[in-house]
Chains A and B, each alone.
Chain A
Amino acid sequence: MTKDDVAEVIKTHGTERTNLLPVLQDVAATHRFLTEEDLVRVARAFKISAAEVYSVASFYSLLETQPRGRFVIRVCRTISCSMSGKGNILTKLKEILGIDLGETTPDKRFSLLETNCMGWCAEGPSMLINDTVYSHLTPEKVVEIIKEYRER
C-alpha cells in the first residue's frame, strides 16, 4: 500500500487505539500482508511503537507480517475437515502449485497455508482463498478453482 493509501485508511477509521485492528485489516487487504512500511506508518499515526503494532498484528493469523502472494490459500486442518479428506486437497494443491505449506509461488500469485477451524465443519473439506470460502472440496474441484484464479 502506498503512503497515501495508508493515510486514507487511517483517516477513514481514526487513530484511537480501538481502531487499530480495523486499520490493520484494511491495510493488509491490499496485498495480503503488512509490510514494514505499513507497520511504521500505522504506528506513527497511532503514536505507538512500530514493534507494538507488529506485536498486535502477529497475534492474529489473518494479519500476516511476512510476504505472501496475491491469493492466500488457507486449508482448514481441523478435525472435521481433516476427517473428510483435507489431506487429499492439500496434496493436490501442493502438486498443482508446486509449493509446500508456508510457501509462495515464484510468481507471487499463491501462498499455501493451513488454518484452524473456520466454521465449515459440516461441509468439509474447506478452504479460504483470501476472503472467499470454498467447501465440499474434491481434488478435481480444487484444480478448477486454481485454474480460475490463475486467470485473474
Chain B
Amino acid sequence: MSQDAEKSTAKLSKVEKKLNLLKKRAHLIFRNIDCVKLFNRILKKTPDEILATITESGLRGRGGAGFPTGMKWKAALEAPGAVKYVICNADEGEPGTFKDRVILERQPDKIIVGMATCAYVTKATEGYIYMRGEYNFMSKEIKACCEKWNDLFEKKDFPFRVSLRLGSGAYICGEETALIESMSGNRGEPRLRPPFPVSEGFNDMPTVVNNVETLAYVTMIMDDGLDFFKSVAKDDSMGGKVFSVSGDAAIKGVFELPLGMTVQEFVDIFGDGDTKAVQVGGFSGLCVPRKHFATTIIGYRGVQTGGSMILYNSTRSMYLVLKNYLEFFQEESCGQCAPCRIGCQQLLLGIEAMRQGTRPLSHIDKLRELVNVMGVASKCKLGMSLANPFNSITEHFFEEICSKW
C-alpha cells in the first residue's frame, strides 16, 4: 500500500467515526419502520393534535425555502375550498441535490404516510407526487406504492387518494407555483404571488406543496415523537436534514445530518483535505470560501439549504464553476420576466467577456448592479436568488474569474 493510500485510509476511518457519531444523532429518514402500523396510530389522534405536534416540532420545509410546515398546513386547513390537495414536490432539480431521489427509492411509504397525515389535518382528499421526468425509471415502483396505499385508505374509509405525476425536464417546476402550473397542463411558469397555493393552488383550490424530505420527516415525527426530533439539532435549526454531497469530496452521497453545523465541521468530514470553497444550497445558494468555513452555519439561522453541498478543491477554476452555473440558469430560467431571462445571459456573457478581455474588469460592477436588480425586481425566486452564487463567487474569487487559469 502506498503512503498516500495509507494516509487516506486513516483519514477515512477518522471520517467514518465522526460520521457514525452524527448518524446516531440524526438517523430518521432511512430507518425502516412499519408504516402501516404507524398510519393506524396516526388515525387514532385528532387532526388538531397532529397539527399541534407538527407546529411544535418546528419542522420547516426541507426543499430549501424553509417555510414552517405547521403554518402551511394550518393555512390550507383554514382556507375555504370544495376540494383540497396535497402535493409532494419531487421535482428535485437543484444542481447537486439528489437526496429526494434516494428517499423516493428507499422510503416511498414514509412519503405517502406524510401526505396522508397532511391530508388528515388539512382535509385534503387528493394527493399527487410530482416527480421530475428524469426519475421516470422509478415510476413503476412509486405507482405500485401509491396503489398499495390507496387500497389501504379505501379499506379504512380514509378519504384520500394519491397518484403520480411526472415532470418533463424543467428546473423551474420545483418552484411550487410553477409546479402547479405544470400539473395544470401549462408551461411551468411561476405564478404571481399572492395568492399562495395554500389558498389558491391546484385547480384554484387550497393546496399544500411539501418537499419529499419534509413529508418523510412528518412521518418520523409522528413515529418517534416530538422530543426525539427536537433533540437532533442545535438551536433553532431543528431536526435532521438530508444532505447531498458531491464535487471534490472524500465521500459522496446522501447523508442525514443535524442542522446547525458549521461549514468547517462539514468539510472536516467530507472534504478531501484541499477544499477551497463549498457551494451550500445548490446553485441558488451561497458559495462559502475557506476563510468563512468556521463562521458559516448550515441551517435556518445561517445559510439556508435544500441540502446540496458541492465541494471544490484548489484544482478547480472558479471561473469554470461560475460559468457552469450561469449556463444552467440561462437555460432553466422560465423566460417570463425580463430581468431573469436577459440577466442570466448577460451575467454569463459578461464574465466570458471579462475573461477574454473584450470587456474591462470594471464590467464586474455592471454585472453586480445587474444581479442586484435581478434580486429585487425578478418575478420569482430563481432570478432573485442568483445574487447569492454570483456575488459570493465574484467577491471571493475575483482573480480566478478574470485571469487565465
Contacts and interface: CB of A to CB of B under 8 A. Distances in A.
A22 B134 CA distance: 14
B170 A122 contact: no
Given A59-B170, A61-B169, A80-B96, A25 B325 contact: no
Contacts of B185: 16-21, 56
Contacts of A98: none
Interface stretch (B20-28, B87-95, B230-238, B363-371): B87-95
Contacts of B244: 121-122
B252 A122 contact: yes
Interface string B169-201: 111000000000011111111000000000000
Contacts of A60: 133, 167-170, 188
Interface residues of B, number: 53
A78 B168 contact: no
A78 B169 contact: no
Chain B interface main SS type:
mixed
- Give chain A's interface residue range (CB within 8 Å of chain B): 35 or more
Contacts of A131: 136-137
A102 to B, nearest CB: 13
Interface string B238-252: 000000111110001
A79 B311 CA distance: 10
A91 interface: no
Interface centre among A56, A59, A62, A131 (most CB of B within 10 A): A59
B277 to A, nearest CB: 12
A151 B320 CA distance: 38
A21 B246 contact: no
B86 interface: no
18 contacts: A17-B186, A21-B166, A59-B189, A61-B169, A61-B170, A77-B327, A78-B324, A79-B95, A80-B96, A82-B320, A115-B169, A116-B171, A117-B97, A121-B96, A122-B244, A123-B252, A124-B246, A128-B134
Interface of B: 92-98, 100-101, 132-137, 165-171, 182-189, 203, 244-248, 252-254, 279, 283, 308, 310, 316, 320-321, 324-325, 327-328, 331-332, 334
Interface of A: 16-22, 24-25, 55-56, 59-63, 77-80, 82-83, 115-124, 128, 131-133
Given A24-B168, A116-B171, A122-B253, 5 more contacts: A80-B95, A117-B93, A118-B134, A119-B98, A131-B136
